[in-house]
Amino acid sequence: MKTAGILFDYNGVLVNDEQLHKQAFQKVLDGYGVSFTDELYDRACLGRTDEDGFKYLAREFNSQLGGVPIDKLLKSKIEQYGKLAGQTDILYPGAEKTIRELEKKYRLAIVTSSTRDEVLPFLSSKKLISIFDFILTAEDITRGKPNPESYLTGLNRLKLPPQKVVVVEDSPSGVKAANSANLACIAVLHSVPREQLRGTDKILEKISDLNEEVIENVLYKRPGKT
């Protein structure tokens, strides 16, 4: 019987698709005359739901986006992302091997700010969906990260005590969400510098460095926060 669990973020943890999300946002915003920089993406969108990202952008670029329905922007962005993601294998090196090994001992789930249409087709094509107990997406929550709702919902679905669950994240907003949910958190340095990931229990260079020893040390020894 598996008595511990891992809640994985998706984008920037298991799949290397942040650039695809940036490009999808840019293609949508180009049509409205909005200049979309890397700094703006990190500030408005990284680790957040697309809906929250577009709401942020609509406030900042009210003259261009203020009258545009968010649903219209979301639909366009999802379509653009699907076209881009279908052209490449976006799994991080070693990610599949890592989760297949961890699945032997732990209950695994995904907690992501992305939509079902951005997550399920790719995981299905890689035959990875069955590895996870569940996949919680943007449609399943009302408040995105850094609000802890998504991780609290994931914890509830796992039906495990919080001291038996660890989160794997890559973004500051995701780390904040895990901290606010009072869950142990491991971060990978796929998306932002180490100094932006303060408050984690462990920082790894890459997802392939995650293994049973790391999980056990974090869950049961709980070293001081980095």
222 C-beta neighbours (distance < 10 Å), count? 12
Tell me, what DSSP letter sits at residue 223? P
| CA–CA separation, 142 and 49 (whole Å) | 10
Beta bridge partners of 202: 186
Report the pLDDT value the prediction gives residue 18, as an integer from 0 to 100.
84
Q: What is the pTM of this model?
A: 0.84
Q: Which of 79-88, 118-127, 204-213, 216-225 has the lowest mean pLDDT?
A: 216-225
The 10s digit of each residue's pLDDT in 185-217 is 999 999 999 999 999 999 999 999 999 999 999
d(CA 74, CA 48): 13
Domains of the chain: 5-16+90-221 (3.40.50.1000), 18-85 (1.10.150)
| Alpha carbons 24 and 31: distance in angstroms, whole number | 12
Contacts of 111 (CB under 8 A, 6+ apart): 7, 8, 9, 10, 136, 150, 151, 153, 154, 167
Q: Pull the structure tokens for residue 117.
A: 């249409």
How far apart (Å, rounded) are the C-alpha atoms in residues 134 and 10? Answer: 13
More confident residue, 151 or 115: 151
